[in-house]
Copies of this chain bind each other. A is one copy, B any other.
């Protein structure tokens, strides 16, 4: 069957995991996915969870065969605002060499590419000495709440594998594929300050009360130093700077500060010690304010001293940092700095550690690197060079894919991440799309990758 047809049929099931009214779409996408795995020759188990079941496919074999795990997710983001889609979100359409539809890039298309390639390879060589476990979950877009327990339950089976192939990262263009070698972790929390019993008249009481907004801005302003670094004592403890080869790899990207400023429409980039701006977004830790609020926000003015104010913060973390420790450091710092007259509550949000993997043949490649995974990296490198016309770049990415760290922490497995969406794929946005070049060439790359892992190539 035509891969574009398969991906299109998959998109037609509106599998929005966050919205209970899409239950039917979730079931449809899950069954479609299970049948796709069966048609590739896998035995399928539907693993129940408290919310949306996980589709688990297996090709078993002798213990001496390499064993690789494929990860993807069949759930999608909500398609709203619907009126901004050129064609309806769940009626996939091909135009200008792209498939448009919710989930085309995130993540139905990319993981379908892997499964289709596996089917092709096994059809050509039914005896391929390769064990495969496919995990397609249905809760990625809501933070994978059931996934850690699933990993724990299947730990023995998974830990025995050689590595994971993950299809949830991007590349800068269809001509320049990226193999993602790391993702930042994340620590989120909300600061809530409370001052007087209620909003006060700023004329009657102004001058005698510590305004919670003043306390909040002073507190938040204290969290960065003048040089751009984060002013939370201990924050940088253990932070691992990028390897020289990583900085060099980044310089190969056709992007410089001037182009990046133009893309962002800012007249200057933010700078901080140890990293250029382009390095900072991939290799550096951050403390960002995602939202702030307090007092009167409507039109005109309201002369109050507000009773409350809040700020939402997330820190992006790099290898060497621990999200629970960073939260504890931030909590202590904030509690120490809250002025008298204001009460503070700190509410923790999601958290996950950074993840990084070192490709083979680098100055810092661990001596004990898993030979099957090293083989997979080499096979991917060769196949990408052959089918996309250019060798891949090996870059860490600034975003966070919390399950990667979970997989590593709970099973010990490292991941090979081939970027199969593009900057204009519109993830989480209207007109989400997947470039057909990624589908066609991606299938070829995955075919050679499976064969390479099985020992037929590379």
Contact = CB atoms under 8 A, between A and B. Distances in A.
Interface of A: 18, 77-78, 84, 142-143, 170, 183-184, 186, 188, 190, 195-211, 213-214, 216-218, 220-222, 224, 260, 264-270, 272, 275, 277-278, 280-281, 284-286, 288-306, 309, 311-312, 314, 316, 339-343, 349-350, 397-400, 423, 426-430
A289 B211 contact: yes
5 contacts: A184-B203, A196-B266, A204-B397, A207-B280, A288-B305
Contacts of A209: 264, 266, 269-270
Given A207-B316, A209-B264, A210-B270, A290 B303 contact: yes
A148 B200 CA distance: 28
A186 B186 CA distance: 43
The 7 closest A-B pairs by CB, nearest first: A203-B399, A207-B280, A291-B295, A221-B221, A268-B340, A213-B289, A208-B277
B18 A281 contact: no
Nearest to A206: B286
B201 A265 contact: no
What copy number does this chain have within its complex? 2
Nearest to A183: B203
Given A290-B306, A292-B309, A428-B303, A280 B208 contact: yes
B398 A204 contact: yes
Given A217-B220, A305-B288, A429-B198, A264 B300 contact: no
Contacts of A298: 78
Contacts of A309: 292
B196 A429 contact: no
A366 B217 CA distance: 44
Nearest to A349: B301
A424 B160 CA distance: 70
Contact of A278 (B197, B208, B269): B208
A84 B308 CA distance: 14
A170 to B, nearest CB: 7
B292 A292 contact: yes
A316 B204 CA distance: 10
Contact of A291 (B296, B350, B428): B296
